[in-house]
């Protein structure tokens, strides 16, 4: 099989996986995945050993764009930059296709921290927490690590509740984060 065909098949599988796993959950079957991607199961198994590997690869592929979407601009104070992340979350949550954080969703559905996709998702979430910690430290937080964990908790809780359509964020996440930043001494 020529390299361009393999890449095309792989891209189609990863695109379909990202869409289906985010919209319908990680329990989507191989048949549905291959049908959506327009590839045979044989082709999928030539590229990946299992559906689990496809899920992990789709999350790995999605991580850079996800992180760029959440990365605050380099302008503004650390406080403003942290709040910007939550403003972006609130805005994203208003979109009809929003289903919450794809990385948190995968970890919750899989319930196995050793699953290849959980490992990718956990690393991605860890980078978000580390970004919060660095900003908290720059902003003079009394305990940057604790604040970073709290911010991640708010982020994940807000994205999960908004993704499940049980809560509209409408300033709720930013108000909560503002209180945390005040309590932590972040100017």
Q: Are 85 and 143 in a shared domain?
A: yes
Torsion of CA 73, 163, 130, 14, to 10 degrees: -90
Cβ–Cβ under 8 Å, residues 48 and 57:
yes
Reference 128, options 81, 179, 171, 180; nearest CA is 81
Q: Are 46 and 81 in a shared domain?
A: no
Domain span including residue 154: 60-184
Q: Are 84 and 145 in a shared domain?
A: yes
Residue where one domain finishes, among candidates 58, 78, 99: 58
Number of independent structural domains in the chain = 2
Residue 50 maps to which CATH number? 1.10.10.60
pLDDT per position as a tens digit, 138-155? 999 999 999 999 999 999
Reference 51, options 41, 60, 61; nearest CA is 41
Residue where one domain finishes, among candidates 11, 27, 58: 58
The yes-or-no verdict on residue 180 having pLDDT over 50 is yes
Q: Are 106 and 171 in a shared domain?
A: yes
Q: Are 23 and 86 in a shared domain?
A: no
Q: Are 169 and 116 in a shared domain?
A: yes
pLDDT per position as a tens digit, 72-131? 778 899 999 999 999 999 999 999 999 999 999 999 999 999 999 999 999 999 999 999
Report the predicted TM-score, pTM, of the whole model to 2 decimal places.
0.90
Residue 170 maps to which CATH number? 1.10.357.10
């Amino acid at each position: 099989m020529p390299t361009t065909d393999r890449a095309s098949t792989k891209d189609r599988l990863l695109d379909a996986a990202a869409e289906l796993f985010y919209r319908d959950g990680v329990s989507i079957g191989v048949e549905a995945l291959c049908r959506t991607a327009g590839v045979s199961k044989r082709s999928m198994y030539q590229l990946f050993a299992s559906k689990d590997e496809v899920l992990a690869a789709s999350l790995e592929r999605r991580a850079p764009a996800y992180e760029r979407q959440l990365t605050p601009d380099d302008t503004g104070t650390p406080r403003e930059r942290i709040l910007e992340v939550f403003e972006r979350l609130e805005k994203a949550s208003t979109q009809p296709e929003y289903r919450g954080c794809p990385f948190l969703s995968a970890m919750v559905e899989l319930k196995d921290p050793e699953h290849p996709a959980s490992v990718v998702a956990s690393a991605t979430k860890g980078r978000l927490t580390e970004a919060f910690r660095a900003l908290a430290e720059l902003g003079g937080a009394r305990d940057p690590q604790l604040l970073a964990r709290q911010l991640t908790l708010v982020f994940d809780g807000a994205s999960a509740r908004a993704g499940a359509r049980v809560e509209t964020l409408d300033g709720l996440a930013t108000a909560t984060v503002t209180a945390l930043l005040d309590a932590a001494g972040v100017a």
